[in-house]
Amino acid sequence: MALNVVIAAPEAVPFAKTGGLADVAGSLPAALSRLGLRVVLFMPFYRQVADKGFELEPTGIEVAVPMGRRVVRAEALLGHHQGVPVYFIKRDEFFDRTYLYGTPEGDYFDNLERYAFFSRAILEVLKARNLSPDIIHCNDWQTGLIPAYLRDMYRGEPIFRKTATVFTVHNIAYQGQFPANLYDATGLSFQLFNPEGLEFWGSINLLKAGLVFSDAITTVSKAYSREIQRPEYGYGLDGVLRKRKDSVFGILNGVDYSEWDPESDPAIPENYSPSDLKGKSACRKKLLKAFGLKGIKAKTLLIGMITRLADQKGLDILSEAMPELMKMDIALVILGSGDRSHQEGLKELSARYPERLSVRIAFDSELSHLVEAGADAFLMPSRYEPCGLNQIYSLKYGTVPIVRATGGLDDTVRGYPDEDGNGFKFKEYSASALIEKVAEAVDVYSRKKEWTTLQRRGMADNFSWDDAAAKYLEAYNTAKARLHKS
Ligand code: ADP
């Protein structure tokens, strides 16, 4: 019998996106359907979704969620993406906002309420629709309470009797921590608020709830699954993960090549392929123009970056390295959005080096395709990187990645000059290691034939969803086998 799977995600392409999780939630469901599973996706009905004008049907379902002293109602809307039904939880008080989780100044003050509500509303909609899932696949802290709810107030519900939970960590640094005095908003019984449950040094920790109460845990690369079990990368939760190490799986994200392929990408001025790379130079020209860089010669290595502006992304070593980098024959374009302090830092740098560094502060999916296609190399100097998608897109676009060897970057980029190298990678998290690698890339770029070999090798790599979906199916089966045992 085909497994019934519910995927709960706080964001999904094409509806709303802040980062890689949205790409995963946008394409994993269809890949699982191709394996014969019956999949539905749940996400909040954000203002972004309303603004994009998707055609959604009312379902007639209205659920009531007890939240502390009040009862909060939600409506469920239904849409589809790649043939998969998508339920949207609509409660404007919580989700009709400019941003998803917070402004550049910081998180929204009521995120606990917002996502406790989202998590519980999903279970209520499932009840109302009489859908009995084999698996609820939760993603990140926003959905971490679902496994706890199933162990607590939904324990006796016949419809969830055979429901196992899988919890995927897309980034362990974002944990959803809240002061204990807000505990009422979760609706959970107080027995769960202890160090064996979702308490974390006196606070509520939603990611920890997901880690402790789910039947299986996955994260988005093998290297990251090992790293987060060590104190340097575990953000305080490494011990919790070590305790559950037999239930932790590292599954590298796939990418959606129907969206990310230079042979068919409609967002770039000329398409190109491994056998005919000519179109890439038209993309390069358009990219330079889009970023207002003039007089950059073909022999200059054009490096692109697309990034959330967050500490994780290596912006500190990049800015320390900048004076040395700017002495090399390179130009750099950066597309990024996020923390105010990083925005300011980058703007200052681009004002200092206006001829060869251009920064665009925006979240612009269309432009991100042009950066992938038009740059010669792609830089990701991350302090840590659970999976990283842009280096995988870059490989497909013949845009050679220069990365720090961490998490998914380490799993997907093979360092040149190794025989099968597809990019450049440095180990130490430092400006000097970064400078050294960029210098190597500049050197290889000056030898056209060698560079083209490197480009073609990356373009031949394949990270499609089909492999990853098969591995999720294994994790689902493990979770089912362990149901109520963990
Ligand atoms: P993370 O999830 O940590 O942000 P990933 O590399 O896994 O990092 O995924 C980032 C995704 O978000 C990619 O699809 C990337 O292209 C996209 N992205 C990040 N910043 C921007 C931006 N400023 N404009 C457009 N797309 C962006």
Q: What is the SS3 assignment for 279-339?
A: HHHHHHHHHHHHCCCCCCCCCCEEEEEEEEECHHHCHHHHHHHHHHHCCCCEEEEEEEEEC
One domain for residues 218 and 310: no
Does residue 241 form part of some domain?
Answer: yes
One domain for residues 11 and 99: yes
Neighbours of 45 (CB within 10 A): 25
CA 307 / ligand 1 centre spacing (Å): 5
> Which is it for the CA torsion 439, 442, 443, 444, positive or negative?
positive
Predicted local confidence at residue 419, as pLDDT: 87
Does residue 151 form part of some domain?
Answer: yes
The pocket around ligand 1, CB under 6 angstroms, is made up of 19-20, 23, 306-308, 335-337, 362-365, 368, 387-390
One domain for residues 164 and 19: yes
Predicted local confidence at residue 108, as pLDDT: 98
Neighbours of 370 (CB within 10 A): 24
> Which is it for the CA torsion 390, 393, 399, 400, positive or negative?
positive
One domain for residues 477 and 334: no
One domain for residues 471 and 325: no
Q: Which atom of ligand 1 is nearest to the CA of 362?
A: 23
One domain for residues 303 and 162: no
Does residue 273 form part of some domain?
Answer: no
Q: Which atom of ligand 1 is nearest to the CA of 408?
A: 7
CB 94 within 8 A of CB 78: no
d(CA 196, CA 183): 16
CB 289 within 8 A of CB 364: no
CB 361 within 8 A of CB 308: no
Mean pLDDT by 10 residues, the chain (486 residues): 95 95 96 98 98 95 91 97 98 98 93 98 96 98 98 96 98 98 96 98 98 98 98 98 97 94 98 97 98 98 97 98 98 96 97 98 96 98 98 98 98 94 98 98 98 97 95 97 75
One domain for residues 459 and 474: no
Q: Which two tokens stand for residue 25?
A: 């939630």
Beta-bridge partners for 203: 179, 200
One domain for residues 283 and 424: yes
CB 464 within 8 A of CB 254: yes
Residue 163 to residues 19, 94, 141, 238: CA-CA distances in angstroms? 28, 28, 20, 27
CA 20 / ligand 1 centre spacing (Å): 6
Predicted local confidence at residue 104, as pLDDT: 84
Does residue 268 form part of some domain?
Answer: no
Does residue 269 form part of some domain?
Answer: no
Does residue 50 form part of some domain?
Answer: yes
Buried b (16+ CB within 10 A) or exposed e, 225-254: bbbbbeeebbeebbebbeeeeebbbbbbbb
One domain for residues 30 and 171: yes
Q: Which two tokens stand for residue 310?
A: 């967050």
One domain for residues 303 and 373: yes
Looking up tokens 């590292």 gives 250
One domain for residues 351 and 432: yes
User: Domain containing 52: what range?
Assistant: 4-254+466-485
> DSSP letters of 108-163?
-TTHHHHHHHHHHHHHHHHHHHT---SEEEEESGGGTHHHHHHHTTTTT-GGGTT-
Q: Which two tokens stand for residue 86?
A: 């998508």
> DSSP letters of 25-51?
HHHHHHHHHHTT-EEEEEEE--HHHHH
Q: Of all residues in the chain, what percent are helix, strand and coil, respectively (each to 5)?
A: 40, 25, 35
Q: Whose CA is nearest to atom 9 of ligand 1?
A: 20
Q: Whose CA is nearest to atom 12 of ligand 1?
A: 19
CB 107 within 8 A of CB 117: no
Q: Which atom of ligand 1 is nearest to the CA of 338?
A: 23
Q: Answer yes or no: pTM beyond 0.85.
A: yes
CA 313 / ligand 1 centre spacing (Å): 11
If one counts the domains in the chain, the total is 2
CA 441 / ligand 1 centre spacing (Å): 23
Predicted local confidence at residue 485, as pLDDT: 63
Which residue among 17, 390, 411 has the greatest number of ligand 1 atoms within 8 angstroms of its CB, and so is best to mutate?
A: 390
Does residue 286 form part of some domain?
Answer: yes
One domain for residues 429 and 470: no
- CATH number of the structural domain spanning residue 86: 3.40.50.2000
d(CA 1, CA 250): 26
Does residue 346 form part of some domain?
Answer: yes
d(CA 89, CA 109): 20
Q: Whose CA is nearest to atom 13 of ligand 1?
A: 20
